[in-house]
Amino acid sequence: MSRRSAPGGAPPRPTAATQRAWGQIDQTRLRDLLLAMVSIPSPTGDERALAELLTRRLAGAGLAAAYQEIDARQGNAVGRLAGDGTGADLLLYAPIDTLTVGTEAEDVPQVGPRLRPDLRPEGVLQGDRVVGLGASNPKGHAACVVAAAEAVAAAGLPLRGSLLVGLGAGGMPTNRRDGYVDRANSGQGNGCSFLLEQGVQADHAILAKPGWSVSWEEVGLCWFTVRVFGTYNYVGSRQRLPYRNPVVDAARLIGELERWFPEYTARHTSGLVAPQGHVASVRGGWQRTAAICPAVCEFTVDLRISPRTRPVQAHREFAAAVAEASQRLGIESSCELTLSIPGSATPPDAWIVQSCIRAWEQVTGAQHELDEAARTTSGATDGNILRNRGIPTARIGMPRVADPDGAEVDFPMGMNAASVPNLVRLTRLLVAATVDALTRPREEVCG
């Protein structure tokens, strides 16, 4: 759904208040903020230094800002620009932690044989691009949130509702970094959850995450550990003793699940989501010796779930698929649900969704459209935390950068490079939606 907001099919024109706030956006200042953010490492569980920088930046813009400590190394940056109390409050939110760490010790060989420049926490300007770890996702989006708040504050507009800014730790889909972070719940949206628990509440929210169209729903996720059982044995006794190698059987079962995942996706594709699944890691035996056949081999699975599927339903469906394939293969296995976050949806006709669509049309001068990628998403974000806590939430972000020939860049470059024109464009959109939301009486927005 992408309803036009002006009669006659023409995109809505920006108001004088929006144009006034747009005039406060400083492209160079925004670019330099992102360069500084990229150069401050903020892997999940270690966001403190970056959050403190952003707290100072929000305070310098005139917001009531505070660093919200979660533990000694992790915390959020929060800010508030107060309205007169007659309007609805809006939360602009973005996470600030990076998916990978930026060190050889933790990232290699999972990301490849070495760290490419875009995988290092070193902000570099390459033409009109900022390149470095997290330059697009999430730091480019967080920089746009800060710049939008700065512009609205500098414009000195009479606001009815209050603008809340949340820059959250722990937004990446990861558990504790073993050996580096002590707390088990350092990721999976824990910063966003803590933010809301500690009193940062709003009538609605805008989440800045990748995708240059307004969206209103996204997948959740279930993580599973599958164990395949065999016989503890020694290679020198294979010819004499019972031999059942669970590593081999796990590989056979993985092959069956890889054929099952597309079938699952087809069954659950609806709305804006096409939930995917994959096998993420395999563990079995001792690395110190190749002489022993282990008694068990286990692998982990991430299965994305539609907002219309409850985690318990996904658990039953996946467990049934594992059991059926295991029986067919003649192997013994078990399946355990180890993590679940429900998917979420905001009605597409919700006021904040329509406001973001109007802002998109003001910025682009075109009618809002959802391309194929926007209709088949499988990425989960802190939007699930916001919506599942009762806050209507719209999501909007930057498009991925492209190669000079127009070809799509690979996954890490899509995360780690942001074009300055796209940064400005997203900031303009966030400003337009913020002004729209905060200059109306509450009953018009929430009625």
Flag whether pLDDT at 290 surpasses 70: yes
Q: How far is it, in rounded angstroms, from Cα 54 to Cα 278?
A: 36
Q: What is the pTM of this model?
A: 0.95
- The full set of domains in the chain, from first to last, is 7-218+344-446 (3.40.630.10), 220-341 (3.30.70.360)
Q: Token digits for 368?
A: 């809002």
Residue pair 121/165 in contact (Cβ under 8 Å)? The answer is no
Phi, psi for residue 408 in degrees, rounded to 5: -70, 135
- pLDDT band at residue 9 under the 50/70/90 scheme: low
Flag whether pLDDT at 2 surpasses 70: no
- pLDDT tens across 212-258, in order? 999 999 999 999 999 999 999 999 999 999 999 999 999 999 999 99
Q: If residue 226 lies in a helix (H) or strand (E), which one and from where to where?
A: strand 220-229
Query: What would the mean pLDDT of 106-128 be, rounded to a whole number?
Result: 96
Which amino acid belongs to residue 280? A
3-state SS assignment for residue 394: strand
DSSP string, 322-384: HHHHHHHHT-EEEEEEEEEE--EE--TTSHHHHHHHHHHHHHHSS-----HHHHSB----THH
User: In this structure, how many other beta carbons lie within 10 angstroms of the beta carbon of residue 135?
Assistant: 29
Nearest Cα neighbor of 149 from 33, 15, 5 is 33
Q: How far is it, in rounded angstroms, from Cα 424 to Cα 437?
A: 20
The angle formed by the CA atoms of residues 142, 340 and 195, to the nearest 5 degrees, is 35
- pLDDT tens across 181-216, in order? 988 899 999 999 999 999 999 999 999 999 999 999
